[in-house]
Structure 1
Amino acid sequence: MEVSYYPGCTIESSAREYGESVAAVARILGIDLKELADWTCCGAASAHATDDMLALALPARNLETADKAGLDLVVPCAACYSRLKHADKALRSSEQIEGVGNGYKGDFSIKHLVDFIWEEVGEKAILEKVKKPLRGLKAVGYYGCLITRPPRITGARDPDNPESMDNILETLGAEVKNWSYKTDCCGAEHVLTMPEVAWKLIQKLFDMAEETEADAIVVACPMCQSNLDTHQEEVSAQAGKRYNIPVFYFTELMGLAFGDPSAEKWLARHFVDPRPLLREKGLL
C-alpha cells in the first residue's frame, strides 16, 4: 500500500520516538510511506497567529506537491493535519492563496495516521501482526482538539467521540476505558505563554484518567504527548498531588504488540518512564 507522507517538523526533533515508531509500524503493516519531496513546515500555530494568508500558503505549498504525486496523503501530527485540511478546503473553494494553488486538482484524500490505519489498513491486518497482545493494560485514548475538529474542515462523523484509536488499542489486546475527555484541550502552545492555565487543563485530563482507573494515556499528537508527558512535575506541584501517568504514542504500543525490538528504545525517551508499568504487566 503506497501513500504520500507528510512527517512534519516535530517528528524529526522533539517527537523522534513517534517518527521512528510510525516508520516501524508502517514497515510491519506493508505501508510504503512516500515522504513528500522538499516538504516544508506547515506553519502550525505560529503562522496562524501571525497572518491568515501565511497560515494557508505554507500548507498549500505542500499540498501542491502531494497533488502532483497523485497519492493519498497521510499525516501523523494533529496540528499539521489541521493546517493541511484548512488549506485543502481553501484551495478546493478556489480561494486565492498568494503564490500557490494554480491548477490544484485535489484528487487525493488527506488522513490523519490513526484514522488511516484503522479505516484503510483495518482490524484484520493489524490483528495478524500482533505477537504480544497488550493484555492487562488499561488505557484511555486521547485524541486532542485537532484530529476531529472543526468537523466542517475534518469531515469527522462524530467529532466528540472518535473511535479509531480506541479500536486499534482493543485490537492490540488492551482494555480501553471510556471517558468524556477524548477531545478536550491539553493547553497546546499555551503551556509556554500561560503555563498555569495549561497545567489546569492537563490536571483535568489526569484526574479523569485516574477516575477511570486507566494505567496510561495514549495519544496521536506530538503536542499532546509533550504537554502531558513533560509537565507532570509542574502539574503535580500546582495540584498538590503526585501524578505519574505514562503517556504513549499509539504507534509505540502497536510496535510493542507487533514485537518490534526498537520499542524499548522509544519508551526510554519518555519523561515519565512507562517501562516499569509494562514490566509489571508482563509486556516488556
Structure 2
Amino acid sequence: MKLGYYPGCSLEGTAKEFDHSLREVLKLLEIDLEEINDWSCCGASSAHTTSHLLSVALPALNLIQAAKQGLEDVVAPCAACFNRLVASQHEMKYDEKIRTKVEHLIEDKFVDVTKVVNIIQLFQKIGVEKIKEKIKVDLSELKLACYYGCLLVRPNDLLHFDDEENPKMMEELITACGAKAVEWNLKTECCGAAHSIARTDIVEKLCKNILDDAVDHKADMIVVACPMCHSNLDMRQRNISRHYTAHRQTPVIYLSQLIGIAMGIDFAKLGLNLHFINPVPLLEKKILKEAVL
C-alpha cells in the first residue's frame, strides 16, 4: 500500500520522534510513504491569525503538489497540519472568490483529487485486525488516557472525524494493542496550543488540569496525536512541578510510539528517549514482555 505523506515542520524538528516512530510502524505494516515533493509550511496556527488568504494559500500549495504527484490519499500526522489542509481544501472547493485569489497568488490551478487523513484515520483504515497481527508485547497492565485536543475533532462539520465531544477511535486502537483505555473528562479540552510561548502561565494551568484529570482516572500515561499537544503536556511538566509540588509527572507519548511499543520495536528507534518525562522506566515496569532496548 502506497500513501502520500505530509510531515509538516514539527515532525522534522521538535517532534521528530513522531516521524521516526510512524515510519517504523508503517514499515512493519507494509505501508510505503511518498513524501510530497518540495512541501512547505502549512501556516499552522500563525497564518490564519495574520492573513486569511495566506492561511488558505499555504496548505493549498501542498495540495496542488500532491495532486501533481498523483497522490489520492495523504496522511498529515500533525493535527494542526491536518486541520489546516482540510480547511483550505474545503474553502478552495466551495469558495470561488478565495480560490481565484489563491490561484492568482500561487500561479497555479487547484484540483480537488486528494483526501487528507490524520494518523488515527490512517490506522483505522489499515485496520485493527492487521495491527493485532503484529503485536508482540503484552500491554495489558498499561492504563492510558487518549488525548485528542482541539484540532483533530473540531470543527466537526468540516473534519467529519469521530464525535467532537467524546471521540472513541483512538481508544479502539489502544485496545487493539492490548492496553486499557481509561474513561476521563478532558480528552478534547484545549492544552493552550500556540499560546505556549506568549502565555505560558495559561498553558501551564490548562495542561495541569488535563494531566491531573488523567491521573485522577488512574492513567499511567497519556497518548496524543498532535505535536503541539505533546510539547505542552510533556515540556511544561517541569514548571508545573516547581509551582505545584504535589504534581505527579506523567509520561506523554505519541500514538505511533504506543503501537510501536506493542509491536516490539526498539525503544530508541521510536524516540522514547527524546521526551522530557521519560516513559521507559514505567514501561519496563508495566509491560509483561520487554521490547528490544
Q: How does 1:37-186 map to 2 (within 5 A)?
A: 37-68=37-68, 69-93=70-94, 94=96, 95-96=98-99, 97=102, 98-100=104-106, 103-118=109-124, 120-186=125-191
Q: Distance in 1 between matches of 2:271 and 2:246?
A: 28
Deviation at 1:104, TM superposition (A): 2.8
Q: Distance in 2 between matches of 1:101 and 1:218?
A: 41
- Alpha-carbon contact 2:257-2:270 (below 8 Å) kept: no
SS at structure 2 position matched to 1:99: helix
Deviation at 1:45, TM superposition (A): 1.1
Deviation at 1:87, TM superposition (A): 0.5
**Cα separation, partners in 2 of 1:140 and 1:157, compared to 1, 3 Å:** closer
Q: Distance in 1 between matches of 2:46 and 2:113?
A: 29
- Alpha-carbon contact 2:208-2:240 (below 8 Å) kept: yes
C-alpha RMSD of the superposition:
1.6
Does residue 7 in structure 1 map to residue 7 in structure 2? yes
Q: Distance in 1 between matches of 2:267 and 2:35?
A: 22
Match of 1:277 among 276, 279, 282: 282
Deviation at 1:91, TM superposition (A): 1.0
Segments of structure 2 that go 5 or more residues without pairing to the other structure are none
SS at structure 2 position matched to 1:273: coil
Deviation at 1:183, TM superposition (A): 1.0
SS at structure 1 position matched to 2:223: strand
- Alpha-carbon contact 2:260-2:270 (below 8 Å) kept: no
Over residues 81-128 of structure 1, what are the superposed CA-to-partner deviations in whole Å (9 max), with x where a residue is unaligned?
01101100011113322424854331231110111111x101110000
> Post-superposition, which runs of at least 4 consecutive aligned residues in structure 1 deviate over 3 A?
100-103, 262-265
Q: Distance in 2 between matches of 1:231 and 1:108?
A: 36
Deviation at 1:263, TM superposition (A): 4.5
Identity of aligned residues (%): 39
- Alpha-carbon contact 2:144-2:222 (below 8 Å) kept: yes
Deviation at 1:217, TM superposition (A): 0.4
**Cα separation, partners in 2 of 1:165 and 1:157, compared to 1, 3 Å:** closer
Q: Distance in 2 between matches of 1:106 and 1:54?
A: 19
Does residue 252 in structure 1 map to residue 253 in structure 2? no
Deviation at 1:5, TM superposition (A): 0.7
Determine the structure 2 residue equivalent to 1:34: 34
TM-score w.r.t. length of structure 1? 0.95
Over residues 185-209 of structure 1, what are the superposed CA-to-partner deviations in whole Å (9 max), with x where a residue is unaligned?
0111112111111111001101110
Segments of structure 1 that go 5 or more residues without pairing to the other structure are none
Q: Distance in 2 between matches of 1:10 and 1:54?
A: 19
Match of 1:224 among 202, 205, 229: 229
Q: Distance in 2 between matches of 1:70 and 1:42?
A: 17
Deviation at 1:265, TM superposition (A): 5.7
* Between 65-74 and 40-49, the greater mean CA deviation after superposition: 65-74
Does residue 266 in structure 1 map to residue 267 in structure 2? no
The amino acid across from 1:210 in the alignment is: V
Q: Distance in 2 between matches of 1:139 and 1:101?
A: 47
Q: Distance in 1 between matches of 2:240 and 2:178?
A: 31
The amino acid across from 1:163 in the alignment is: K
Q: Distance in 1 between matches of 2:246 and 2:209?
A: 13
SS at structure 2 position matched to 1:59: helix
* Between 1-10 and 256-265, the greater mean CA deviation after superposition: 256-265
Determine the structure 1 residue equivalent to 2:241: 236
Deviation at 1:133, TM superposition (A): 2.6
**Cα separation, partners in 2 of 1:49 and 1:99, compared to 1, 3 Å:** same
The amino acid across from 1:54 in the alignment is: L
Number of residues of Structure 1 aligned to a counterpart in Structure 2: 283
